[in-house]
Amino acid sequence: MKYVPDSLRWLIAITGVLIVIGCLNIYSSTYYMDIYDGGSAYKHISNHILFLLGGIFAAWIAVKLGTNKIRQGAWLWFIAVFLLLILVKFAGISVNGANRWIMLGPMSLQPSELAKVAGIIWTAAFLAKRINNKEPITVFYGILNRPAGKRRKRRGLVHHFLPILCPAVLATIVLLQPDMGTAAIILFFPGLLYILAGMPFLEILAGIVTAVCLGGYLAVVSAYRAERMAILWDPFADPLGAGYQIVRSLTAVGSGGFWGQGPGEGVYKFLYLPEQHTDFAYAVFSQEFGFIGSVAVMCLFMGFLMCGFSCARQLKQPYESLLVYGLTLLISVQGIINMAMVIGCFPVTGIPLPFISYGGTSLLTNVISVGLIWGAVISGREKSDIEERRRMIKAMEGQLAPSGRKSFNHF
């Protein structure tokens, strides 16, 4: 425990609070629906707790495996998730016109959620290798940033595109399900790691322009996506059609008032609000706990972001630091996007609220991500301690060595 900083303790505490809130909210938002369907009132909460326990066990395994083995297995994680996504194409089940799930008995698995973490592990591993080898961090090789040296030039575009290759392949498959929101998430956070790793400003600008143009094209080329973008400006223009979901969500949030209607007392979960336990779980929580509760959840996600960044800044090793940055951003930014979607500030997508929305695979991957953060922080601090001890020994022997590379920190 000597390698556990206070910021990591706070991050775990915030995660625990979010998990408790999620369990209470899922039971509140599903018990009537379960009874209405003729089943047990505890059906959804039981499945949720089962995936929670599975996630804790998987996170424990990830910590025991160690950061180095997970880094070395980046190819294996990519291949495993790739095969699962291909399996979805041929043996998956379709819900609301999207083919994203594989049935595992009474429960389902959504491989696209696993792809989010696999992409970050892959990109962090390959970017760290570039940093350790003092190679340039570049994607638009030969166009905007041509590194010096004939040997590096011969490697060409593929070599510099490799850190983003896995997320790009996985995002393309997910986009065909179709699930543009999740595909964007899979590609977005590895892209942020390029910026954190020190990609040149011109390439950052080119990447932003490319992403905006590509996202805009994909948004307008599909009729239902274009409709979602249009209804964002005025959902009440079509309250019984395209704007139905967001109008119901806004009504639920607004009816909570300042203090809320009370735990378990919200009425919109009684089949008035579609997806009240998944993508729009925050609306049910806001109705029952009001403005105070809503802001408290926002603060928890902001606290998670700050604690994760504080942990990452303390690490000197590029891989551990990038991994912590990426996973922290994955969880906290998804939370911010979901809350913005529920209150009508972001288009309706399939991005759940981490730890609070019902979704077994989402909960599983989020808990595993916290386990990976825990393992990376402890491993990084332990390595730094060992390096410092070795330096001190050499110094006492009269062989003073440089104190090592500076902390990997671009903030």
Q: Does residue 342 sit within a domain?
A: yes
- In whole angstroms, give the CA distance from residue 263 to residue 96: 30
Quickly count: other Cβ atoms within 10 Å of residue 178's Cβ. Answer: 18
What burial class does residue 28 get, using C-beta atoms within 10 Å of its C-beta: 0-12 exposed, 13-18 middle, 19+ buried? buried
What DSSP string describes 338-381?
A: HHHHHTTSS---S---TTTS--HHHHHHHHHHHHHHHHHHHHHH
Rounded-to-10 torsion of CA 336, 242, 44, 39: 170
215 sits in which H/E element? helix 201-221
For the chain, what is the domain count?
1
d(CA 111, CA 182): 11
Q: Is residue 149 part of a domain?
A: no
DSSP state of 235: G
Q: Are strands 107-109 and 98-104 parallel, antiparallel or unpaired?
A: antiparallel
402 lies in a domain? no
Asked if residue 339 is part of any domain, the answer here is yes
Structural domain contains residue 1: no
Residues in the chain, overall count: 411
- The boundaries of the domain holding residue 31 are 10-142+157-392
**Sheet of 107-109: strands edge to edge?**
93-95, 98-104, 107-109
Kindly state whether residue 103 falls inside one of the protein's structural domains: yes
CA distance 252 to 195: 39
Residues in the chain predicted with pLDDT less than 70, given as ranges, are 95-98, 106, 141-158, 399-411
| Residue 301 contacts residue 332 (beta carbons within 8 Å) | yes
410 part of a folded domain: no
407: DSSP letter? P
Residue 409 domain-assigned? no
